Amino acid sequence: MLLIPAIDLKDGRCVRLRQGDMDDATVFSEDPAAMARKWLELGARRLHLVDLNGAFAGKPKNEAAIKAIVNEVGSRIPVQIGGGLRDLDTIERYLDGGISYVIIGTAAVKNPGFLHDACGAFPGQVIVGLDARDGKVATDGWSKLTGHDVLDLAKTFEGYGVESVIYTDIGRDGMLSGVNIEATVRLARGLSVPVIASGGVAALGDIDALCAVEHEGIEAAIVGRAIYDGTLDFVAAQTRADELGGES
């Protein structure tokens, strides 16, 4: 089970939101590149970046901070980025700039043809992000709830050739209330591509619970507020995940 530290960017700073509320942000660092270096030094094997301003604006807004992060970690670990990806040119610019994977969320729901084109143009590098509340997909930085069922959409996007699916339970994100294991497993069982869990990871017990269902197709978990607040020790968590997964 791979644990992926999240670096959420708002106005050039590293923050965490509660349930996607831009007005409820906690600033954890004025220097996102230094934060990326910290997670790298602590053994992170991948980083998860979110351009929060970009998610709401529909276009990249924190490119300077993103570039600084990529320059900091170099080619040592993969970096994935989401938020404001609405056209192929933006994706190409990110990938050419050293990003390993792009995450398409709102645009995938609103314009499935765009996701299909992106998967065709950049095979193996496109992840779809599905954020949901009570099984229904949300868009526009979680501000709008659609009538789309998560599993139905995920199956469609799997057919397009997405590399994996990030599933976020909005009700739990940033709340330290535990992972929605049942919903994540339900999604993973319905797909053949890997699922990355997101939202609610709070303690080692959540790591244990995720590792127990890893065989269902849940390959990784994004960790955010818990590793910033200190309720979860990243090194201890990844070590536990490796032990439970049989890795040295």
Q: Where in the sequence numbering do the catalytic residues fall? A: 8, 131
List own/partner pairs for 138-142 with CB under 8 A and 24 or more apart.
138/170, 139/105, 139/106, 139/109, 139/110, 140/55, 140/56, 140/106, 141/20, 141/22, 141/52, 141/55, 141/56, 141/106, 142/19, 142/20, 142/170
Length of the chain: 248
**Residue 87, CA distances (Å) to 79, 92, 189 in order:** 19, 9, 31
Cβ 163 vs Cβ 101: under 8 Å: yes
**Cα end-to-end distance, the chain, whole Å:** 12
How many CB atoms lie under 10 A from the CB of residue 160? Answer: 17
Amino acid, res. 87? D
242 Rama class: left (phi>0) / alpha (psi -120 to 50) / beta: alpha
Residue of 164, 172, 244 whose CA lies nearest to 212 = 244
